Amino acid sequence: MTTSRDVIILCRDRRPTVGVDRRTIEGLLVWGSHLKNRWLVRDPSGSASTARIKSKIENNVTRPEWMGGNRFGLFDLLNYLLNDRRYVHEPGSDARFFDPLGIPTGTSIHLYDHLRKGGFNPINVENLAPNRREMEKHLRGDPLAVVISATFFIDAGPMARIIGAIRAVNREVPVIIGGSALLTRLTPERRLTADYEDLLDERGFAILEDPGLERLNALLDILAAGGDPGAVPNTARREGGRVAYNPGPCGEADVETTFPDWPAVADITGGVAFVRASQGCAFRCKFCTFPSANVKPRHRSTESIRRELRAVHDAGIRHFSFTDDHFSVSPRRVEEICRMMIEERFGFTWYAGIRASSITAENAALLEEAGCKVLSVGLESGDDRMLKLMNKGTTAAGNMRCLEILDRHRILAHGSFIIGFPGETVESVERTVRWINDSPLKLYKVWLFYLLPGSIIHDEQEKHDITFFGGSYGHCLWRTPTFDALQGSELLKDVILRVERAALLYNYSPMYGFFPFFLRGYSAEQVVDFCRLRTALVKNELGTRSPFRRLGRRRSLLRRLEGMLAEGPAEAGR
Ligand code: B12
Ligand code: SF4
C-alpha cells in the first residue's frame, strides 16, 4: 500500500517532431504517414512482396539527403532552417523549435482535471517519448498508479511498449488503461481481445466504461486504501493468470456539465483548448470508422458550450479546437454556436472539422465573425460517381460552393481527399485533380484508400470484389477490378505533381498544422505560404529530372523560406 496520491497520466509515445509511425508498413501506408510524400512503386515484375515494398517506400523526398536523410515534414523543415540548416528533432535548450507536440491532448487535460477533482495529485507526463526521464523519476517516487489512455492508439502495440517502459522501473505500480477507444476492442461478450488482455499483468487494470472516470477514481481510492480492486464494476484485471471481469451497469457522462475546470488546469494546456460540442456521427460514409464506434450522436446545448468557452476564456486561453467527429452538422446549429461566440466577444482563434453540407453563405459570415480561421472539410473526390459510391451525401458542385463561400469569408479550407476507393478509375482521379485546380482550395491532403476494419466498405468486400496481395500487409494492398493500391500510390504522386495552386498539409491534421504557428503570432495566410514553399520543394524533388536544375531550385526555395522565417510573425509586426 502506498500513501501517495500521485497519479501519472500517459496518452502518447511520439517524438516531438511530427513524423511517421514507422513500426509497420501499415503505419507507413495508412495512418497518414506514407502520405508525407511516400508512395509505393510498382515492381517491374508486377508483384509486390513486403520486402520489396518496404525498400521502395523510403525515397529522397521523404528523407532527403540535404536534410541529412532525416524526415521532411513541414515542422522538420522549418526547424532545420531555424537552426542554421541543422536537423533538430527535439526542443533542446538552445534550439529554436516549432513544437507541435508541446500542446498536450484534450484527453490528458480531461483526465488531469478529473483526477484533481477526485483529490488525487495528477502528473501529466502525457507523451512518453520525449518525457521518459521525467516519467522514470516519478515512478521511483512510488506513485499510486499510472493511467494510460487508449484514445490515440490504433492497436495494443504502443501501449505494450509503454507498459514495458514502466515495468522496467517499477514492477509494482498499478497500471490502469481505459478510454472510449478501449470499448471498440470488446468482443460481443464484452471481453477484451487477446492482445488487449495481454496488456494486463498482475498489477494491470482496465476500465471498460465510457468515459469511466468515476470508476477510475473509485478504483484509485480502493488502491490507495488497500481494498479489493475487483469490487469496481466494469473493470478487468488479472487474477491467477486469467483475466477476471466484473461487469456492471454503465454510467453515461452528462455531456452538458462534464468539461474541465479550465482556469484550474490552464498551466498544463500549452495555450490551446480542445472542446467537444458533440459526440458521434449519424452519417455513414463507407470508408469511415466513426459510425462503427457505436457512439450515439449526442449534441451539447449551446448554453453548455458557452459555459465551457467562458471557462476557457477565463483561463487566458485564446486558441481552441472543436474535437467533434464533425462540427455541428446542421447549418442552423453552426449559426447558433457562432452567434453565441459573437455575443460573448471571446476573440478566440479556432478550428473545426466540418462537412461541406453544413456551410451556407449565412453561417460562413458568422463563422468569420466568431473567429473561425481554419476548417477541415472532407471533400474526398471531385467525381460525383465516387462521392455516391462512398455514400458521402455531398456532390462535387455542392463541395465547390462550400469552398467558394469559405474563400469569400477568408476562412481557410483544408480539403481531404481519398484516392482508390472501390470504383475509382484513372478518369475519376483525373476529374478530382481538375476539380481541385478549378477550386479556390489553398490547402489539401490526399490519402490512399485503405480498408479499415470497422468501416462499412470493410463488410462489403465481396460485393466490390476486393482482393488482397502483399503478404502480411495484405489489408493495405488491395485490388479491385478497376484499380489497385499500387496504381493508387503511383497516381498519388501524379496528383501531387499536377495540383497547381493548393499546397499540401499533412501533419495529422490542421490542428497540429496551425496552432504552433498561431501561438507565435503567425497568421493563417503565413502558414499557407510556408506550405506552398514546402510543396514546391516536394514537387521539385519529385519532378525535376535534371540534378543541376533541381539543386538550383532547391537552393532558391530554401532561401525564400529562410527569408519568411526571418520576417517573423505577422502579428509581431503590427
Ligand atoms: C483531436 C484528435 C487528434 C489530435 C490531438 C490533438 C490534441 N492535442 O488533443 C491530433 C490531430 C494530434 C490527432 C492525432 C492522431 N489521431 Co486523433 N483524434 C482526435 C479526435 C478528433 C478527438 C480526440 C479528443 O480530443 N477527444 C476528446 C477527449 C476528451 O475524449 P477521449 O479521448 O475519448 O477521452 C474521454 C474518455 O474516453 C475518457 N478517457 C480517455 N482516456 C481514458 C483512460 C482511462 C483510464 C479512463 C478511465 C478514461 C479515459 O475520458 C475522456 C473524458 O470523457 C478523435 C476523434 C473523435 N472525434 O473523438 C481522433 C482519434 C482519437 N484519432 C485517431 C488517430 C488514429 C490518430 C493518429 C494515430 C493519426 C495519425 N495519423 O497518426 C494520431 C495519433 C496521435 C499520437 N499518438 O500522438 C483515432 C483513434 C482510433 C483508435 N484509437 O482506434 C480517432 C478516434 C479518429 C478515428 N476514428 O480515426 N488526433
Ligand atoms: S467521414 Fe465524417 S461525416 Fe462521414 S461518417 Fe465519418 S465522421 Fe461522419
Structural domains in the chain? 6-14+102-246 (3.40.50.2300), 265-451+489-521 (3.20.20.70)
CB of 77 within 8 A of CB of 537? yes
- Taking the alpha carbons of 281, 285, 290, 293 in that order, is the dihedral positive or negative? positive
Contacts of 103 (CB under 8 A, 6+ apart): 269, 270, 271, 272, 512, 515, 516, 519
Ligand 1: distance of its center to the CA of 212 in Å? 15
Instruction: For a ligand 2 pocket test, name from 281, 289, 386, 389 the mutation site with the most ligand atoms within 8 angstroms of its C-beta.
Output: 281
Burial degree of 572 (CB within 10 A; 0-12, 13-18, 19+):
exposed
Residue owning the nearest CA to atom 4 of ligand 2:
285
Ligand 1 within 6 A of CB of 291:
no
Q: Which of 161, 162, 152 is nearest to 182 (CA)?
A: 152
Ligand 1: distance of its center to the CA of 11 in Å? 9
In the structure grid, which three cell numbers stand for residue 339, read together? Answer: 452567434
CB of 371 within 8 A of CB of 346? yes
Residue owning the nearest CA to atom 55 of ligand 1:
325
* Residue tagged 524533388 (cell numbers): 541
Task: Provide the terminal-to-terminal Cα distance of the chain, rounded to the nearest Å.
Answer: 58
Ligand 2: distance of its center to the CA of 33 in Å? 21
Residue by residue, pLDDT tens for the chain (574 residues) are 567 999 999 999 986 544 333 322 333 333 333 333 334 444 444 444 444 454 444 455 667 788 887 777 888 899 999 999 998 877 877 778 888 888 899 999 999 999 999 999 999 999 998 899 999 999 999 999 999 999 988 778 889 999 999 999 999 999 999 998 888 788 888 899 999 999 999 999 999 998 899 999 999 999 999 999 999 999 999 998 899 999 888 776 777 888 999 999 999 999 999 999 988 888 889 988 776 666 678 889 999 999 999 999 999 999 999 998 788 778 999 999 999 999 999 999 999 999 999 999 999 999 999 999 999 999 999 999 999 999 999 999 999 999 999 999 999 999 999 888 999 999 999 999 999 999 999 999 887 787 776 788 988 989 999 987 755 455 667 788 888 877 777 787 788 889 999 998 875 566 778 999 999 999 999 999 999 999 999 888 878 889 999 999 999 999 999 999 999 998 754 3
Q: Which of 333, 307, 339, 309 is nearest to 321 (CA)?
A: 309
Q: What is the pTM assigned to this prediction?
A: 0.91
Taking the CA of 393 as reference, the closest ligand is: 2
What are the φ/ψ torsions at residue 293 (nearest 5 degrees)? -70, -5
Contacts of 214 (CB under 8 A, 6+ apart): 251
Residue owning the nearest CA to atom 56 of ligand 1:
325
Nearest ligand 2 atom to alpha carbon 289: 6
Ligand 1: distance of its center to the CA of 156 in Å? 15
Ligand 1: distance of its center to the CA of 247 in Å? 25
CB-based pocket (< 6 A), ligand 2: 281, 283-285, 288, 290-291, 325-326, 355, 378
Ligand 1 within 6 A of CB of 207:
yes
N residues, the chain:
574
Determine the Cα–Cα distance for residues 236 and 79; give it in Å rounded to an integer.
44
Instruction: For a ligand 2 pocket test, name from 278, 279, 283, 421 the mutation site with the most ligand atoms within 8 angstroms of its C-beta.
Output: 283
Residue owning the nearest CA to atom 32 of ligand 1:
107
Ligand 1: distance of its center to the CA of 151 in Å? 4
